[in-house]
């Protein structure tokens, strides 16, 4: 009987011998993050998907008017909130790069909404909109003698206010980012345009916008992901009310959790994935270059 020696019978050198010391250190230093990632990202995600495995959950979601309402609200929140916010940020970034002493000071204050935590400021807005004691309705009463609207009791107005709070909070950040984009445009382009007698619109249309459109679109997409996850603006201002009509997807999951409908909670998040994953894919392509 012939003895055949295949390559696999020869003991391969142990893993540690094949790695250089820096590589060993590389693995050791990468280990803490990998542990965190496995324990607090991989496991929860898999567990969440497992909880959301029953088709019955999706049928229940489909039949729940609050879910449909939340999906529509999320869409409104995204489309109106982001476009409005980014357009204003684009406009204000042009304002804040003006060389003026007072504009410098204003920009320091303008960052405040981004720098302070959102909870106290959102609650401040919430009381401001209180129909009886809030400052807004008191001012309306003093000026016109009429009672102001019951701001947070009408779903449309309440959602608009939540979008407003979201914009208030995140506008400074995006303005700052778009400012860096504007400042990167070489100034001689504008000087040449001035010599040619270009109007401000022509300067924007043919110089500013072409150099900023990639940044603008990237910012809009990133803002979309973050806005999808904006829990505080809705939850702390309206609490999802009145009558659960102002929920968005990020607050709906918590609502189901509080009602002990865990599988519905997970299923509602899974339903958002077809929208989120393409965005994530696109952003990763942008950033991992």
Partner 1 sequence: MKLPTLRDVGTEAKLLLIGIPVFIWTMVPIYHMFVFAISPKEDAFAGKLWPDHPTLHNFHIVFYQEHYFLRDFWIQFWNSTVIALAVGALTLFVATAAAFSISRLKVPGGRAVMNLALFTYFIPAAFLAVPMYRTMGNYGLLNNHWSLILAMVTIASPYAIWVLKQASDKLPVELDEAATMDGATTLQLFRLVYLPLMMPSLVAVGTYAILLAWNEYLYAFLLLSKDTDITLPVALGNFLAADDSPWELLMTTGFIYALPPAAIYYVFKRYMVGGLTAGAVKS
Q: Does 15 bind partner 1 (CB under 8 A)?
A: no
CB of 5 to partner 1, least distance (A): 29
Q: Output 4 or 199, the one with its CB closest to partner 1.
A: 199
Candidates 61-69, 78-86, 186-194, 274-282: pick the segment binding partner 1 (CB under 8 A): 274-282
Q: Does 27 bind partner 1 (CB under 8 A)?
A: yes
Q: Output 114 or 155, the one with its CB closest to partner 1.
A: 114
Tally DSSP H helices, then E strands, for the chain: 16, 0
CB of 288 to partner 1, least distance (A): 6
Q: Does 34 bind partner 1 (CB under 8 A)?
A: yes
Q: Does 75 bind partner 1 (CB under 8 A)?
A: no
Q: Does 278 bind partner 1 (CB under 8 A)?
A: no
CB of 60 to partner 1, least distance (A): 16
Site for partner 1 in 120-179 (CB under 8 A): 120-121, 123-125, 127-128, 133-135, 137-139, 168, 172-173, 176-177
Tokens of 37: 């990632």
Site for partner 1 in 224-253 (CB under 8 A): 225-226, 228-232, 235-236, 239, 250-251, 253
Closest-CA residue to 152 (of 164, 160, 141): 160
Helix (H, G, I), strand (E, B) or coil at 244: coil
d(CA 133, CA 94): 38
Candidates 7-15, 105-113, 186-194, 202-210: pick the segment binding partner 1 (CB under 8 A): 105-113
For the CA atoms of 148, 162, 122, 137, the dihedral, rounded to the nearest 10 degrees, stands at: 0
Candidates 59-67, 112-120, 154-162, 201-209: pick the segment binding partner 1 (CB under 8 A): 112-120
Output 112-118 pairs: Cβ under 8 A, ≥24 positions apart: 112/172, 113/168, 113/169, 113/171, 113/172, 114/169, 114/170, 114/172, 114/173, 114/176, 118/169, 118/232, 118/233, 118/236
Q: Does 36 bind partner 1 (CB under 8 A)?
A: yes
Contact 208, 179 (CB under 8 A): no
H or E, element range at 242: none
For the CA atoms of 130, 132, 133, 135, the dihedral, rounded to the nearest 10 degrees, stands at: 70
Contact letters (x/-) for partner 1, 188-207, by CB under 8 A? Answer: --------------------
Candidates 9-17, 61-69, 90-98, 188-196: pick the segment binding partner 1 (CB under 8 A): 90-98
Q: Does 271 bind partner 1 (CB under 8 A)?
A: no
CB of 59 to partner 1, least distance (A): 20
Q: Does 259 bind partner 1 (CB under 8 A)?
A: no
Closest-CA residue to 159 (of 62, 251, 91, 49): 251
In the list 56, 72, 87, 112, the residue contacting partner 1 (rule: CB under 8 A) is 112
Contact 52, 269 (CB under 8 A): yes
């Amino acid at each position: 009987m012939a003895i055949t020696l295949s390559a696999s019978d020869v003991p391969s050198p142990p893993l540690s011998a094949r790695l250089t010391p820096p590589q060993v250190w590389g693995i050791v230093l990468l280990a803490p993050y990998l542990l965190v990632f496995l324990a607090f990202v991989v496991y929860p995600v898999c567990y969440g998907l497992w909880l959301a495995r029953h088709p019955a959950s999706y049928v229940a979601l489909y039949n729940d008017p609050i879910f449909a309402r939340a999906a529509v609200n999320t869409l409104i929140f995204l489309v109106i909130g982001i476009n409005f916010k980014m357009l204003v940020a684009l406009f204000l970034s042009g304002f804040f790069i003006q060389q003026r002493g007072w504009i410098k000071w204003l920009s320091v204050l303008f960052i405040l909404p981004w720098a302070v935590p959102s909870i106290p400021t959102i609650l401040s807005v919430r009381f401001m909109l209180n129909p009886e004691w809030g400052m807004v309705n008191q001012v309306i009463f003093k000026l016109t003698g009429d009672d102001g609207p019951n701001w947070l009791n009408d779903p449309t107005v309440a959602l608009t206010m939540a979008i407003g709070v979201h914009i208030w909070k995140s506008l400074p950040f995006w303005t700052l980012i778009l400012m860096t984009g504007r400042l990167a445009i070489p100034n001689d382009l504008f000087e040449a345009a001035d010599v040619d007698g270009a109007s401000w619109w022509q300067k924007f249309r043919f110089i500013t916008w072409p150099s900023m459109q990639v940044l603008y679109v990237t910012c809009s997409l990133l803002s979309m992901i973050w806005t999808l996850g904006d829990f505080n603006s809705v939850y702390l201002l309206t609490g999802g009310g009145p009558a659960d009509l102002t929920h968005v997807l990020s607050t709906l999951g918590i609502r189901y959790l509080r009602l002990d409908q865990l599988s519905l909670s997970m299923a509602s998040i899974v339903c958002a994935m077809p929208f989120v994953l393409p965005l994530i894919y696109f952003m990763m392509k942008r950033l991992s270059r």
